[in-house]
Amino acid sequence: MGKRGKKTNISSIKERFWGYTMIAPLVTGLSVFYFYPVIKVFFDSFRDVGAFNQGDWCGIRNYQELFADPVMWQALGNTLKYVVIIVPGMLLLSLILAALLNMNIKGRSLFRVIYFIPAITMGAAVAMIWKWIYNGDYGILNQILQLCGFEKIRFLGEEATALPAVCVVCIWGSVGYNMIILLAGIQGISKTYYEAAAIDGAGGIRQFFNITLPMVTPTLFFVLITNLIGTFQTFDAIYMLVPNTSMAAGSAQSLVVYFYRNAFSYSRRGYASAIAVVLLAIIMAITAVQLKVQKYWVNYDE
């Protein structure tokens, strides 16, 4: 709109200067720690990079190898399983909890704090505790199972149970944080809707499904997107709970864990970069679809 002016006046230059200066720290940080690595990873995915960053161009060989690699497909499958189990499970639980903690119950603040604790605990520490809970020889979960007359289950050591066991930890760890966000969304809903509904004779459940749920969809959408991306990148819980030596390592390994092992354990950074690029493409595609589909279920009406 300023295009038509013959000269950019002094105050506008000043304004621009300060504008750019103000965002400079952030932009520098982002460039160094986000944009540069993304570009570098993209380049490296076409190089045969080994230990100590030595390597040559190799064209699309990394990608050819990638698509023929059964372990990669298994890791991708595992990642999708994580997403399909964790995201809905977490959404449902945190929505229920948020709705419950929005009601007038005794010790409400205390409960909020308790449910939020996992969110401020370090992931590695959480995983260590769960590792002991799940332990097949000494774990408390197995002690309880045995007391009840069941067989021991080696949760993290068997192919069938390792992945669900990790999912439980992930859900447990993220429910509190998402609950707080949803709670904020729920509290933003105007009381007048509820008052009107109450006058019309709607009960609590009816109010939840007809007022709370539709009105909280923008928040829900935000939580969905962030968690979908986050779950695709699940790493710490898997890395800590199911180490490479475990019998179930292959069946619990997500794409990011496989990326990490290639880059840092097997010194195949070029190949690892290709994995990262594929993962980025998948996440971008799914997020794009989400943004398109949102208009069918997200309610932005005032």
Partner 1 sequence: MKKKVLALLLCVGLAAGGLGGCGEPDAPGKETPEAESGEETISGEVHMAYWAIEFDGYLNRCIEEFNKIYPDIKIVLEPAAWDEYWTKLEAASTGGSVADVFWMNGPNVMKYVNGGVMEPIDGYLENSDIDLNRYPEGMVQLYHVNGKQYGIPFTFDTIGVWYNKKLFDAAGVPYPKDDWTWEEMVDTARQLTKEDKSVYGMATQLEAQQCYYNTIFAMGGEVISEDRKSSGFDKAETQAGIQCWVDLQEEEISPSLASLAETAPDVQFLSERVAMLWYGSWFVSAVEASDLVNDVDVVELPSMNGNKGTVIHGVINAISSASENKEAAWKWVEFLGQEKANVICAEEGIIPALEGTPEKWVSAHPQYNLQSFITSAENYSYAYPVSENSAVWERPMIENLKKAYCLEVDVKEACDTIAKEMNEALAKE
Interface residues with partner 1 (CB under 8 A) are 51-54, 135-138, 154, 156-158, 243, 245-248, 264-267
- Compute the distance between CA of residue 195 and CA of residue 302 in angstroms, rounded to an integer: 17
Could you give the dihedral angle defined by the CA atoms of residues 42, 45, 49 and 51, in that order, rounded to the nearest 10 degrees? 80
**Among residues 174, 277, 177, 287, which one has the least CA distance to residue 234?**
174
Smaller CB separation from partner 1, 67 or 132: 132
Amino acid at 284: M
Q: In the bound complex, what is the minimum distance in angstroms from residue 128's beta carbon to partner 1? A: 13
And the tokens for 196? 């009107």
Smaller CB separation from partner 1, 264 or 297: 264
**Among residues 245, 251, 241, which one has the least CA distance to residue 265?**
245
Smaller CB separation from partner 1, 157 or 173: 157
Q: In the bound complex, what is the minimum distance in angstroms from residue 236's beta carbon to partner 1? A: 14
Q: In the bound complex, what is the minimum distance in angstroms from residue 71's beta carbon to partner 1? A: 9
Smaller CB separation from partner 1, 47 or 154: 154
Q: In the bound complex, what is the minimum distance in angstroms from residue 163's beta carbon to partner 1? A: 15
Q: In the bound complex, what is the minimum distance in angstroms from residue 70's beta carbon to partner 1? A: 12
State whether residue 227 is helix, strand or coil: helix
Smaller CB separation from partner 1, 83 or 154: 154
Q: How far is CA 56 from the centre of its chain?
A: 34
